[in-house]
Structures are given as C-alpha cells and as structure tokens.
Structure 1
Amino acid sequence: MIVPLKEAVADTCGGKAAALGALLRAGLPVPDGFVVPFAAYLAAVRDLDPGRFAGEPDDLDAARRTIEARTLHAAVIDALGRALDELGDPPVAVRSSAAKEDTGQASAAGQHDSFLAVHGAGEVARAVRACWASLFSPRAIAYRAASGHDDGPSGELLMAVIVQRHLDAEAAGVMFTPADPDDATRIEACWGLGPSVVEGKVTPDAYRVAEDGSVTRTVADKRRRLDRRGARLVVRDVPAADRNQPVLDDVTARRLAELGRRIAAVRGGPQDVEWAIAGGRTWVLQARPVTAAPPPPASPPGVRDATVAPAAALTGTPGSHGTVTGTARIVRGPGDFARVRPGDVLVCPFTDPAWTPLLRIAGGVVTEAGGVLSHAAIVAREHAIPAVLGIPNATGRLRDGTVVTVDGTAGTVTATNA
C-alpha cells in the first residue's frame, strides 16, 4: 500500500508523483519520500460510491466530510508508520497527486490540498484523508468543469498522496523553463517557504536567465515570509534590510536555469518547476508541463509606448494574454463572492486557488500582489482570462462598479468612466 517515490509511475501514483519519481531516477535533487497510491484511496471509498455526489454544495460537503472521517485500513496505517520511521520521522510535506493533475493539457495548479510541516503517523493519515477529500472541493469541481473534464464515472476520480521530507527553505519559488532554446528561463523567488509565491500572496522577485547566461531581474518589496515553527506554519515580517534585497544572486539564478534545463530534458518538454533552497542546496519540489506560457514582461514604465499604456492607465505585471472590458468588482475575500456577476473584472488583493469557481464567470483579473508563475495566474491563462498582477492598492484606486479595460498582454488597467 506504500510506493517509494523513486518507483512512482502515473498509472498507480498520479502525474505529480510520477514526475518526481522520474527526476529521482535521473539523479536530480528531490526530497526523500513515498506515495500512498490510488489503490489505498479506492480501498477507503469502495463502499461510498463517490459518483453519487451530484455536484450540489450539500452533496460535496457530505462527500468531503465522509472521506475525511474514514478510518484508514490498518495495513495502510502500519505502512505509513514504517515509511515515516525509515525517513527518520521528520516533519513532512503531504501533497496531492490526482489522476488528471499535472498533465500537458491541464495543470490543476493548486486545485487539490497540500500540507506542510506535518509530523507523526496520525497527523499524516489525517492529511492523506484531506487530500483525498479535496477531489470534491468546489475549486476542484469548478476547475474540472471549466477545463472540459466534467466528472465521469467515479473510477476516473483517483487521488494518490505524496509524503516527502519537509524542507525549511531559506528561499523558494517557481521556474518556467523555455519552450525554445533561444527563450529565457523565467524564475520567481521569495524568502522562506514557497506557498507565498505559488498562492500569489506576495509579489516575488522576477528573474530572466537568457540562453547566454545573462540575468535580468526585477526586485520586489517582499514584506512577509512563510516559515515553519514546530508543527505550524507562521507568517513573519521580513527584516527591513532584506525586503528590497534580491533573493537570488546571478550565480544562483544561472544554476537554477541549468537545473531547469536538466529537468526539461528528463521530462521531454518545457516545465513548470517548484524549487527551494535549504541548507545551501537547491531542491526540486514539483515539475509539471507548462500548459500556458505567460506574456512577455512589460517594458519599464519610462519607456512604454503611449499607445500601449495610456497616461491614465494603472500598470502592473502582464499575467494572462488578452483584453477585456467589464465592470470592476472589488473582491477582498469569500464574503464578496456572491456579488460577482458574469463578465465582471475581479479586483482583489490576491487570488488563491480557492477562488477558482469565480474564474468560470470572471471576464478579467486585477491583483495587488502575486507573480505570473503563481497558481491563479496559470489557471487564468489556461482559461484565457486576461489578468494584470501586482498593481499596488488596486482595490483602493479602482472603484467598485467602474467600467475598466484590462490589457493582460501589456499589463495595463484603464477606467473608462472614472
């Protein structure tokens, strides 16, 4: 009931675990771990008939609660304990690896649950059940529907779970390897653990490493960082002296780009890579195909063409191609979701994967924080929703109900009836 991560393949362990297994077999730096395969999930839900949950909110809540309350088979509990002991019983990361996750057609970026700093067999078992249950979360259901993968027979909904040694990262982020050898590798980086970047809660440093090794960077004001404290994750202030310091020097950025090239060679195409630096060593936490490349970076404000960026426009980072005009809807959290109407432009501090159901109806997205390699930006590009990211105080500078035009390729937002 437990598969060593190095032996993971997609048919039994899902795409995310299979990719990490392939990288381990190629000798690349992936944290030690193991997989709770599809078979364990199927054994746990065999008598539940998940296919009967029709998609109504009450049905989905019932599915999640029922799965989270399941008692794991004694053989699985025993195998979990032994596998954790073999790792030295450290804190671990527990991550989803669903059947249709991390494919070349749909990333499912951030749509299922993952947990960091989990310690002990009992807590790991609880996290495994939560990963299984996240197959029925509103965001996962909405993503599958928007991607044209409406839920079919219950046997098609399969979840494996990866358990790996937790890394207390000094720095972490995301890297997109280039589709063409002449293109640049794009890297986003923050201090501390990587969820700050992938969940779009900070605006990260952005780096481009050209084929000749030259590095260009945009350094962000990084005020918060995420770290582990015991069995908890805590958000801390970044010391003032470090907020505007680059997370990566040029040598480290080039080393990351070279690691990205090796990963792409093993996986056979451009890759979306989550990485971390811990103890001075660079590690690969995830690699999946790039499903939707981001727009090129915008020109610096002083050299933008006035026909591209009108004088009254707010400027940010181009996040997802396209142009749309719609009503600005200020959304600060789930309490505002019911106010959003089809075609509205979401204007928000940041978006995280829980907001995926809104992306089924939104015409465009504007955020105050986040990078182009974050989960929400990836999902916006997959669904062809124009997005502009990282506009300071966008929720204060744009009025609710104002008609705005979002140019996600140029990185501009213009109010047409301010």
Structure 2
Amino acid sequence: MGRDAVGLIPLRGAGAQLERMGGKAGGLARLAAADLPVPDGFVVPPETLDALLADAGLTALAGRAFTDLGAARELVERLGAVTLPADLQAAWVAAAERLGPSLAVRSSGLDEDGAEHSYAGQHASVLGVPPREVPAAVITCWQSLWSERAVAYRRATNGGSSSLAVLVQQLVRPSCSGVLFTTNPLTGSWREMVVEAVWGLGEGLMSGRIAPHHYLLRRPRGGLPRSVARVAARVRLQVVERQVHELGEQLVPGEGGPVLEATPDHLRHRPTLTDGELRRLARLGLKVEALLGAPADVEWVRDPRGDFLLLQARPVTAGRTPKRDPEQVLWTRRFMGERWQQPATPLGWSLFEPMLTWFVGYPETQARLLGGGPALRLHQGYPYVNATVFRHLLFKLPGSPPPSFMLELIPPEEERAWRRRFAVAPDVSVYASIFRTTFEERRWRRFRWNPFTNHLAWDRFEARLERELPELGGRGRPTEERLRLVDRHLDLVREYVGIHICSLLFANLFWQLLDGALASWVPERRQDLRTALATCPPGNLTVVTNAALRDLARLASEEDLARLAAEEAAPGAFGEALDTFLARFGHRSESSWELMSPRWRREPSRLVPLLRSQLATSHDPVEHAERQEERHRAALAELRALLTGPRLSTAELLIHHARRYLLLRENQRFWFDRLLWSLQDVLLSFGDDAVDAGWLEASGDVAFLQWEELRDAVARGQVQDLRERARRRRLAWEHHAARIPPTFLTGRDPAPVTTPDGERLTGLGISPGRARGTVRVLRSVADGAALRPGDVLVAHAVDPAWTPLFLTAGAVVLELGSMLSHGAVVAREYGVPAVVNVEGATRRLEDGQEVTVDGARGAVWIH
C-alpha cells in the first residue's frame, strides 16, 4: 500500500484537500476554517480504501457490488476478514490518542451532502470508540458503503461514489443534542427555522428512538436589502413555538457504544433549550447558511459548559427540480382513497365516472400539455385521479410555503423537493389552457362557485333532498318508472357534486387564509388558536351519529349483540332503539362514495364492532363537542384581546367562513350517503327482478353489471351472459379487495415511494397532541372490536362510518387523508392526535408495537 494512501488529513487546515475528505468531513473542514465551533479530528482519505481493495484483489468485486446486492453481501464479508497493515493501524491509533479517550468514527461519502442527493443516514457511524479500536470502526464504516440500504439508495437515485472517506473526531459528551434547519422542512417557509433537541447523544433523535423537543423560530420579514436583512435576522430572531414534553430516556456514551438510560428526574420535564440558547444556536445556523450559500441542516451538541459545537452541516436544498415531464402521467389514490376504500363496483363506477369527469376533466389540456389520459381511471378496481395537472399548477412564491392542498396530491419525494426550493413558477401554459376552456365552455355554470353564496345553495338543496327523497323509493313500481327514478337520482347527484366540490375548495381556502393570518399576526399562539378556532360549530351530523351510536350501545346486552351479529331481530328496548337508529342513520356505510357499498340498514350486523368499541370506552362524543365549543369561545376571547381593528375583523370573518364550510362538508356527506342509499335501493329492486327471472344468482350481483348492461336487460330483455359476467367480475372484485393498492402510479406502474426503515415515520399531522400506545392495525370496521382504549388505530383510510372508533383510540395513523378530511375534523373534535399520509403504515406497523404519535409534527416513533 503506497504512502499517499496512508496519509491522514487533519480536519483543521485541510486546505486544498477538501475534495478528498467526502461531503461530511469536507463540510466540517469548511466550518472549522471559518472559525465555527467544530470538534477536532482527522480524515482517512478514500485512497486508503481503494488501495486496500486493490491489495486484497477485491476491486472488480467492489465494482459489481456498487448496485448488485449479492456481490455487495460477499464484499462486506470479505472486507471484514481483511487484516490492515500494522504501520497503518499504528498511525491511526497514534493520531486517535491525541484526540482523546472516546471518539466518533463517521463515514464521509464522496457524494454525501451534495446538491442532488444527501445520502443522509445511508452509511455507518460508530460512537464511543477508544483509540485502539479505531481501525475496526473504520472498517465498519467502509463496509456500510455496500450495505443493503446504501445499495438500494444508489439504485433509487442512479448515483453515488464507489469509495468512502472516514472521519475520526473527538466525541463530546453532550448535555443535549439535536438538529437545526435554517428553513422549515415541513412547510417550505424560508422565514422559519426549526430546532429539534433531546437530552444526551443526538443518535437517539436521528434513529427515531426518542421523540425530541421541537422549537420554531422566525426571522424578520423579507423586503430589506440583503446585507441589512442578515443583520436583522441575527438581532430579531423570534421564538414562536415550543413543543416540550417529558423526555424519559436519553442516549449516553457507553463502553460498547451508546446506551439508553433513564433521564435524570430534574431534566425529564425541563425544556432542553432556553430562548436565549435557541437564538444563539440559530445565529450559528445563519453563519453556516451564509458560508454554504444555501439553507442548511445542521447537527449540533451542547457540551457540559453550555457551548455549542457543530457535528455536520448539509444544504437542505438537496433535490432535483420538481418534475414536470409532460410524458409522465401521475395518478394518485389520495382524495379518492377515503371515498372508495374498496374497489369500485362496475355499476357504481359506470354511473359516476362520466359525471365526475364532466366536472373535473379538461381533455384538450390533458391531451396537449399533460401527456394525455383521462381525468379518472381504475387500477385493479380502485379509482385514481390524474394528478399530473397538479405538478404544473403548483407554484412556490419566494421563501413561502407552496399550496398545501396541491402538495397532498403528489408523491412524498416530490413534495419534499417542492418545499426545499426557494421559488418555483407555475406552468403558465397549463393555467392559460384551463382558463380558456373554462370561459369557452362557460364551466362556471356547472358549479356553485361563489364562496359567499355556496352555503345558501346547499341550504336550498338540503331542503329539496328532505322533501323529495321520501318520494323516490322504487319498491313496487313498474320497470319504466324505476328507470326514470334512476335518472332523477342522478340529477340530484349531479347537483350535489356541483355544490360539494366548491364547498371543499372553500373549506380549504378559508382554513389556509386563517392559518396565514394567525401566523403573521399572532405567531406564538398560531397552532393552539388555529386548532381551537377552526372547528366545526354545533350540528356536525357525523358527531350526532356517533352520539346516537353511543346511546344505543348503552342499551345493548351481550345477548343483544350476539343476536345482531347473527342478523336476528333484537327484542325489547334495544330492538326499538336499534330501529329508531337505523331509520335515521342506517344509510351510512364504510365506503360511502361506492354506490353499492353495504349500508347499516341493510346489514345492521356491521354495527356490532362499533357498538363494542363504544362499550369499551368512557368517552362521550357529546361531552367532547361541548368542550370543543368551550375551547373555541375561549380562543376567540383571547384573539380579541390580542388583535384590534381591521386585523380582528378580518380574522373573525375568516373564522366564520372556515367553520361554516367545515360543517358544510361534513353534513353534505351525511346527506349524500342518504341520497346514494335511496338510489341503491332502486337498483337492488332490479336485482330482485333478475333473481326471479333467473338471469342473476343474487340481487346484489347487479353491482357487477355496468349501467348500460343493466338498463338494456330490464328495458329490452338483453340478458345473455349477464349471470356469468357478474360472477367473473365479482371474483375479480374480491381478488382486488384483498390487496392494498399503491398510493401513486406512474403510467401503469406503481410509482417508487421510499418507506422509511428507521424508528421514525413521518406524514401530515392533522390533529395536534401526543399519545403513546399499542398499535392496532384495522383492515376494516369489522376489526374494530379488537380496539382497546388507548390503542393507536392504524388503517389505510377512514370515512365518517369509522369515526366512532376514534372515541376508543388513543391516536390515529392513516396511509391516506388530508388536513380537512372527515377523519381530521372528527379527530380534532375529539382531541385525538392523528397523522395521515404515512406511506406503508399498515405494513410498517404491527399489532402490539409501542409507538408515540405526535399529531402536531406529523411523526410516529416506534419504541
């Protein structure tokens, strides 16, 4: 091995050797050169590894192992058996002894912390290493270049270097550690800085084993000259949010590496950082940002004397420009997944797909600018929305967060890339095409588009439903009349959709405007006030349904539930109460937009798991609703003490409309369920006729015929092959229903989505609060009886029929959802912490695991 491979590079004074040090060590050397506080150390250059592979005859194997997992496993094993030259080991141990008795040995990849990929967490670090064991720790770091995780990352990113430097540093025994983001990675705001901190070593935070304290700081507003703005930022940093909870455990250096131990009693409930320390740390972060020329992600420690030291700094702008490939069509289950939790039936989809496409499809724009494809499609029976357009409609004003409701419809990797960019302009050609078509076709006539009158249109429509639905029953009527009844129902569905789509948009609009106003005017109280102010007012029919279910459960005996599960009539007070409940709420189902989904009234046994869950908890939905309204009034009083004049008037207007449309979107779904129940009953009457005539096996088989087929059969007697066709489609439906569909598709293939392999899962926090509990994965409401008080409910998605289970759950984790979904509204009303859009949650989490759910930060920690 040549002498150039043996030479060590000092961390301080590296000079022209920065490129040989790898991303992590090179970044620290730049910090040290700028007199920023960095623990001393040295670097084993990549040439040392290259020379060792050559001497051992492993160079060719290393080349194959770069992306070949089998070759990588072989190389890791053979590298572990290599004996390092004695002079090399002696040089390393001597240099390590000069640093101190306990060291940190960290990988420093040549492509690490770069502009395209960060490689964060892909390679090994070994902590608490005594000087004599440094050679073995270096080999461990080298081996991590070919770990399964690193190979998978290189395959996914199509990049990476085939060599590795290793950094050996003094190990500081910190009083606390953490990470600083000089821009907010959760929102994309360049005005906000985020600090996360834990007691002891930061590895507890990085690995996800310990849920950290969370702090948010804000810089002064933009618009100042750049030089003035930097000075102002250092002077006027404002701590606007502190999420501090009990930290019962900490990682500390041990003889064999970090060990987990109980946090001393005097620290368990104490904030890890004071406001003064936060500002001091943030100013260090601003210096790093200025040095890197970009926002930074900085790992830090505070030593026992109270001084901050920097362990790593990488640019958070890492990531490619957000995708806008017109040939790459993106499909998503988000939004649709809550409404169709099971595959769509041929009958329901053939009735609804043309109508929905008429509302949301722009064929000319899609064909000319967005790669073609319809607005909606089925994949393995599940509905998907063409989300390509949102890649083009998305934009990011300089330093501001992008529109969150659009971000929810693109894959997580793209979402993170959007947040990291400073500014991205929208695709003006797509906007222009949509506006042109809208005006040429006068599309505004299809919607109730005025935010100040949409609710009035709904009031009139609700009155119409209440008046007309009792007249639309199809039982006992002639075939021709029932066919006309289907048309009348579809006219009502079309009118509903024209109102409902705008109600959804207005709920999002006023929520976002209120959130922005609170962030600007009362930043320190933003989250608590938003949670209490933007709530449903009394009258949420989902909550009313759950309260009625709770009352019904109080009357149920074990014998009553057994009879109900067997679909037998229940006698006495419970039977009478059940009939009353079903008469008012029996139209609800677990997959409410699926027209033929079973409803409670037709299959009341579906209530049994919900009733059992109510019996298992002492929580009362009425009391929850009353407490929420009390919190709303208290928050409104606080806001009136904080704001005056036009700001207060504006805030009150936004609160009024946000609450109005939150209530509207909840109650619209209640009435839509009732409308679909009425239409389903008419369609099932055709099924009864088909069974009597012998061309279907069961009345429910009409669900597996398309509307054109069913209509031609009942109107013109065209029944050939329908029995066999329905049978085949039912089998295909059952096959697809047993699978969890991918959240995103690229063309016809599932889009690659990285599922975290650490102990921390992330998503979108929709209901604040923290809870620790036992995981219970539910595949359907039928599994609800297994939920115990305080369990963490984990599911693919929920709709209103699932929400009675929230009274039993300690927290909720979902793979699909949004900030204003029905589950989100009810979770906030019940005070249940909830996180949605957690990719792979039902596969990553298992029954019996202990987790902590943080609904404010959108994080789940596995213990």
TM-score of the pair, normalised by structure 1: 0.74
Task: Name the stretch that deviates more: 391-400 or 45-54.
Answer: 391-400
Change (3 A) 1:138 1:387: farther
Structure 1 residue 391, shift from structure 2 partner = 6.2
Q: Does 1:30 align with 2:15?
A: no
Structure 1 match to 2:254 = 229
Deviation string 1:203-229 (CA, Å, 9 cap, x unpaired) is: 111111222222121113322100013
Q: Does 1:303 align with 2:550?
A: no
Mapping of 1:162-173 within 5 angstroms? 162-173=167-178
Structure 1 residue 178, shift from structure 2 partner = 2.8
Deviation string 1:359-391 (CA, Å, 9 cap, x unpaired) is: x95587799x75xxxxx76xxxxxxxx565996
**1: distance between equivalents of 2:757 and 2:79?**
36
Structure 2 match to 1:4 = 10
Structure 1 match to 2:269 = 244
Change (3 A) 1:158 1:363: closer
Q: Does 1:218 align with 2:243?
A: yes
Q: Does 1:413 align with 2:423?
A: no
**2: distance between equivalents of 1:303 and 1:134?**
48
Counterpart contact for 2:198–2:247, Cα < 8 Å? yes
Counterpart contact for 2:66–2:162, Cα < 8 Å? no
Q: Does 1:157 align with 2:162?
A: yes
Q: Does 1:115 align with 2:126?
A: yes
Counterpart residue type for residue 138 of structure 1: E
Larger radius of gyration: 2
**2: distance between equivalents of 1:161 and 1:408?**
43
Structure 1 residue 83, shift from structure 2 partner = 1.1
**2: distance between equivalents of 1:341 and 1:125?**
47
Counterpart residue type for residue 160 of structure 1: A
Mapping of 1:92-111 within 5 angstroms? 92-111=103-122
RMSD: 3.6
Aligned residue pair count: 352
Match of 1:59 among 71, 74, 77: 71
Change (3 A) 1:210 1:387: closer
Change (3 A) 1:241 1:196: same
| Counterpart secondary structure, 2:12 | helix
| Counterpart secondary structure, 1:217 | strand
**2: distance between equivalents of 1:116 and 1:366?**
21
Q: Does 1:282 align with 2:308?
A: yes
**2: distance between equivalents of 1:400 and 1:365?**
21
Counterpart contact for 2:107–2:165, Cα < 8 Å? yes
**1: distance between equivalents of 2:533 and 2:752?**
31
Change (3 A) 1:398 1:392: farther
Counterpart residue type for residue 742 of structure 2: G
Structure 1 match to 2:627 = none
Counterpart contact for 2:66–2:151, Cα < 8 Å? no
**2: distance between equivalents of 1:414 and 1:110?**
22
Counterpart contact for 1:343–1:362, Cα < 8 Å? no
Match of 2:102 among 54, 67, 91: 91
Counterpart residue type for residue 112 of structure 2: E
Q: When you count strand as a share of all residues, which structure comes out higher?
A: 1
Change (3 A) 1:304 1:118: farther
Structure 1 residue 232, shift from structure 2 partner = 3.3
| Counterpart secondary structure, 2:127 | strand
Counterpart contact for 1:366–1:388, Cα < 8 Å? no
| Counterpart secondary structure, 2:742 | coil
Deviation string 1:147-175 (CA, Å, 9 cap, x unpaired) is: 232x6xxxx41100000001111100000
Counterpart residue type for residue 4 of structure 1: P
**1: distance between equivalents of 2:260 and 2:69?**
31
Task: Name the stretch that deviates more: 61-70 or 298-307.
Answer: 298-307
Structure 1 match to 2:81 = 69
**2: distance between equivalents of 1:408 and 1:83?**
54
Change (3 A) 1:111 1:364: closer
Change (3 A) 1:365 1:20: closer
Structure 2 match to 1:324 = none
Structure 2 match to 1:195 = 203
**1: distance between equivalents of 2:741 and 2:118?**
24
| Counterpart secondary structure, 2:76 | helix
**2: distance between equivalents of 1:92 and 1:259?**
24
| Counterpart secondary structure, 1:31 | coil
**2: distance between equivalents of 1:86 and 1:34?**
11
**2: distance between equivalents of 1:105 and 1:34?**
26
**2: distance between equivalents of 1:246 and 1:235?**
20
Structure 1 match to 2:136 = 126
TM-score of the pair, normalised by structure 2: 0.37
Change (3 A) 1:11 1:182: closer
Q: Does 1:177 align with 2:172?
A: no
Counterpart residue type for residue 244 of structure 1: H
Q: Does 1:396 align with 2:775?
A: yes
Change (3 A) 1:54 1:24: closer
**1: distance between equivalents of 2:266 and 2:778?**
34
**2: distance between equivalents of 1:206 and 1:294?**
20
Change (3 A) 1:414 1:67: closer
| Counterpart secondary structure, 1:392 | strand
Q: Does 1:82 align with 2:94?
A: yes
Deviation string 1:7-37 (CA, Å, 9 cap, x unpaired) is: 4444211111110000111111100100000
Q: Which has the higher contact order (CA 8 A, sep 6+)?
A: 1
**2: distance between equivalents of 1:395 and 1:57?**
35
Structure 1 residue 182, shift from structure 2 partner = 6.3
Which blocks of at least 5 consecutive residues in structure 1 are unaligned?
A: 313-339, 346-359, 371-375, 378-385
Change (3 A) 1:398 1:210: same
**2: distance between equivalents of 1:181 and 1:10?**
31
Counterpart contact for 1:53–1:59, Cα < 8 Å? yes
Change (3 A) 1:141 1:341: farther
Counterpart contact for 1:366–1:387, Cα < 8 Å? no
Structure 1 match to 2:146 = 136
Deviation string 1:75-96 (CA, Å, 9 cap, x unpaired) is: 4223212212332x42100000
Counterpart residue type for residue 302 of structure 1: T
Counterpart contact for 2:42–2:169, Cα < 8 Å? yes
Which blocks of at least 5 consecutive residues in structure 2 are unaligned?
A: 1-6, 220-235, 319-415, 422-514, 520-525, 537-541, 547-738, 745-750, 781-794, 798-814, 821-833, 843-863
**2: distance between equivalents of 1:263 and 1:177?**
9
Structure 1 residue 72, shift from structure 2 partner = 2.1
Identity of aligned residues (%): 32
Structure 1 residue 235, shift from structure 2 partner = 0.3
Mapping of 1:10-25 within 5 angstroms? 10-25=18-33
**1: distance between equivalents of 2:181 and 2:269?**
23
Structure 2 match to 1:41 = 49
Mapping of 1:325-344 within 5 angstroms? 343=742
**1: distance between equivalents of 2:310 and 2:741?**
39
Mapping of 1:305-384 within 5 angstroms? 305=534, 343=742, 370=760
Deviation string 1:101-137 (CA, Å, 9 cap, x unpaired) is: 111211111110001000023x110110111110111
Counterpart residue type for residue 778 of structure 2: R
Counterpart contact for 1:387–1:406, Cα < 8 Å? no
